[in-house]
Each structure stands twice: as C-alpha cells, then as structure tokens.
Structure 1
Amino acid sequence: MSDFNKDEYLNDLPDMDDLSGQAAPAAASAADGASAASADSAAVAAGATQEGAAQPAAAQSQENGDSAAADGADKADAADGKADDTLTPLGQAKKEAAEYLEALQRERAEFINFRNRAQKEQERFRQHGIIDVLTALLPALDDIDRIREHSEMDDSFKAVANKIDKAFEKFGVEKFGEKGEDFDPTKHDAILHKPDPNAEKETVDTVVEAGYRIGDRVIRAARVVVASPQN
C-alpha cells in the first residue's frame, strides 16, 4: 500500500466559497416559493374576509331599512293617536260629526244614482209595454182611419175612435203623416213615387197608413205615396 499524504488530500477538496455560492441560489429559490405561497394564501384569506364582511353589511343595511320603515309607520300611528288624544271632547265630537257627514253624503249620492237608474229602467219598461199594446192595436187603428176617410161615421163610433186616440196621447203616443207635408225618409216609408209636374220637391200625396212614435222613437213609419218632381 502507498502511504497516505494529508496535504494532497486537503488540496483536492473544493473551495468552501464555491459550495456556499451553489447553495445560496437554491435556498433563495425555495425562500421565494414560500413567500409567493404565503402571499397567495394571504390574498385568499383577505378576499374571504371581505366577502364575509360584505354579506353581513348588506343584511344589516336591509334590516336597518325595514326597521326604519316600521319605525316610520309606528310613529305615524303614534302621531295620529297623539293628535286624537290632544283633542278636546268638543273637538273629538266635531271630528266624528264630520266623518259621519262625509259618510252620509256618500250614501246620499249613491242613493240618488240608484234612484235615477231605477227611474230610467222604469220608463224604458213602460215604453216597451206601450209599444207592445200599440203594435197589437195597429190593424184596428188603420181600419178606423180608413173608415174616417172613405165613409161617414156615426156619432157613437166617432166618440169611441176619439177616446182611443186620446188614450194613446195620454201615454205619449203621437200619430203623424199628413197629405202635403215634406217627404222625410226617417219617418215616411214611400211605397210609390208618383211624378207630378206641379211638385217642386218630394211631398206626401197620399197617406196609406199613419205613422206612430213615442218622443223621438218611431214605432212605425207612415206608409205614403210620394209626389216627385218630373225632372
């Protein structure tokens, strides 16, 4: 075996400065990674803290708003109650009297409207009844008019016919249609147009059946022969 040389062994060892230089970058990289991880964790924690803080804050704001509204209603009720409490017995009586008067006026207005509607309905039903009776008697009335026009009526028959006419007048029935009046298509039903050299405008020449109306409502148009200008 060869002899061990201590000096040569020591000279072959690497320098400590080189070893420290290689270890330093590795340690720095590890330290940087740890710092970055810590920063990310801190950011996540901060975000969670802010979000958690925001939710209670919103809930608290809503709760405060509801509480404020409830307080406002309570204060209003309290103010009304306080105002009533501050009224004297005479003032309280006047207030109640005003409320009763307002309610009475509303009821009176509603009653007047109801009464007017009832009167209109009653008048409408009344007119319908008169129209039904008149329509049923029209053939007899037409026969009476023909007898008047074409034959002599004795006094008794003439008296009965006049009573019938007056009875319908009492219920607002008006008889219309006369020879010589202007032709009006809204109340005359022309069954014939007869040329007339002397006519300057369309006029009623002959009344075949008289017309009847109630107010402005025509029950039956008068059936007439119309004299018309030749041109």
Structure 2
Amino acid sequence: MSDFNKDEYLNDLPDMDDLSGQAAPAAASAADGASADSAAAAAGATQEGAAQPAAAQSQENGDSAAADGADKADAADGKADDTLTPLGQAKKEAAEYLEALQRERAEFINFRHRAQKEQERFRQHGIIDVLTALLPALDDIDRIREHSEMDDSFKAVANKIDKAFEKFGVEKFGEKGEDFDPTKHDAILHKPDPNAEKETVDTVVEAGYRIGDRVIRAARVVVASPQN
C-alpha cells in the first residue's frame, strides 16, 4: 500500500464557499428589506399623524428584524467556512479512516518484525543450551579422533553430530598453526619457540564453538610465542 497524504487529498474537496457567497447577499437583502419597511412605516406614521408610541414600536420592530437578519448572515458565513458538502464530508471521513488504517498496518509490521527477532533469539538460546550440555561429549570425540582410530560406526555417529550442529549454524574453530586471537582463543599456556615470529596456536586442547559472531566457548590452546 502506497503512502497516503490526507492533507493533499482534502485540499481537492469541494466546500461551501460558493454557498456562503449566496447566503450573505440574501441575508443582506433581508436586512435592507427590513430597514426599508421600517422607514416606510415611520414615514407613514408621520404623514398620517399616527400616535408617537405606535411609530416608535414600528421602528423597534424594524431594528430587531434587521439585527436578526445580520446575525443569521454572520452565522451562515461562519458555518460556510467550516462545513463541507455532503460529498466532501464523506471523502474527508474516508481519508481519516484510510490514514488510521495505514497507521495500524505500520504498527502491525513493526510488531511482526519484533516477534520474528524474538523468535530467532529464543531459538538461538535453545541451541546454545543444547550445545553447552554436549560440550564434554564433543571434546571426548575430538580426543578420540586425535589419539586413536575410530571404527566406521563411531565415525559415522560423530559426523552426524557435526552436521547436525552445522545445520543450526554452529561453527567449530581452533586449528594448529593459526594466529593467536585473544577474542576467540583462551591461552592456557605460552611456550617460547625460537622459530616463531609471532604468537601462533601450537596445540588445541579444546575446540571453540560460535554461532555467527557470538562465541559460545573460546578455544583453549597452547600458544607458541617468540623467545624475545
């Protein structure tokens, strides 16, 4: 759904400006008619010699009618400025409903993204819990691989375990000869090496594991360091 601008939409709506232009002259005509009737009544009363109280009452009635006409004209003008035509009012309401719907849709999309992130976080925590519980067994498998021959059946089981963890994004790291990195290696021993030009991994005691950039366990290693 494309972005919706209610202000631009409502700028094109028809309003009552034209009607207010008609209402004002009508009210003004009523006021002029009332004034003319009042003047005629006053003149007739003077010519015919009517009593002064009757002329005063007629003048008061004429003034009241003129005032009422002026008030109605002002009210019509104010109402015309603020009131849309029925079609315009319907379009305005439709614009407000559409704007509210778009806000609700944006909030739902944000909620869905948050829910997906939370779900992935819980999934990762579950993998970490399982991996942490199996670390001793995985270390034993690595020692058997390194120090003895594994029969075919045991090797198949070990490979299945490795592939299962790879499927869930678990990566094993730590190799002999790689550069020592304190952010992912835990040095349990530094031994001088006359042939070493920089600190390198000499022996991997326990492999490290990580998921993405998150290190679950640092690799425990023996580090060969330059003698000087």
TM-score range, shorter chain: 0.5 to 0.7
User: Which is further off, 38-47 or 200-209?
Assistant: 38-47
User: Which is further off, 190-199 or 106-115?
Assistant: 106-115
Distance 1:82 1:191, change over 3 A: same
| 3-state SS of paired residue (1:121) | helix
- Which structure 1 residue ranges, 5 or more long, are not aligned? none
Is contact 2:202–2:222 with CA below 8 Å preserved after alignment?
Answer: yes
Distance 1:28 1:46, change over 3 A: closer
| 3-state SS of paired residue (2:50) | helix
Distance 1:95 1:198, change over 3 A: same
Q: Does 1:70 align with 2:67?
A: yes
User: Which is further off, 47-56 or 78-87?
Assistant: 47-56
Is contact 1:213–1:220 with CA below 8 Å preserved after alignment?
Answer: yes
User: Which is further off, 195-204 or 151-160?
Assistant: 151-160
Aligned length: 228
Matches of 1:188 and 1:163, distance apart in 2: 26
| Deviation readout 1:115-158 (Å, 9 max, x if unpaired) | 11111111111111111100000000000001111111111111
Is contact 2:16–2:80 with CA below 8 Å preserved after alignment?
Answer: no
| Deviation readout 1:32-55 (Å, 9 max, x if unpaired) | 99xxx9999999999999999999
State the 1:22 CA deviation. 90
| Deviation readout 1:58-102 (Å, 9 max, x if unpaired) | 999999999999999999998999469853343223212211111
Distance 1:65 1:183, change over 3 A: farther
Is contact 2:205–2:220 with CA below 8 Å preserved after alignment?
Answer: yes
Distance 1:103 1:178, change over 3 A: same
| Deviation readout 1:7-58 (Å, 9 max, x if unpaired) | 999999999999999999999999999xxx9999999999999999999999
Match of 2:178 among 177, 181, 189: 181
Distance 1:31 1:91, change over 3 A: closer
Is contact 1:84–1:92 with CA below 8 Å preserved after alignment?
Answer: no
Matches of 1:2 and 1:147, distance apart in 2: 61
Is contact 2:28–2:69 with CA below 8 Å preserved after alignment?
Answer: no
Match of 1:165 in 2: 162
Distance 1:21 1:70, change over 3 A: closer
Matches of 1:110 and 1:81, distance apart in 2: 39
User: Which is further off, 24-33 or 10-19?
Assistant: 10-19
Match of 2:44 in 1: 47
Match of 2:117 in 1: 120
Larger Rg: 1
Distance 1:41 1:220, change over 3 A: same
Distance 1:180 1:77, change over 3 A: farther
Q: Which has the higher contact order (CA 8 A, sep 6+)?
A: 2
1:1-231 → structure 2 map (5 Å cutoff): 82=79, 86-231=83-228
| Deviation readout 1:164-191 (Å, 9 max, x if unpaired) | 0111111111100000100000000000
| Deviation readout 1:203-223 (Å, 9 max, x if unpaired) | 000000000011111100000
| 3-state SS of paired residue (1:52) | coil
Matches of 2:2 and 2:183, distance apart in 1: 154
- Which structure 2 residue ranges, 5 or more long, are not aligned? none
User: Which is further off, 54-63 or 159-168?
Assistant: 54-63
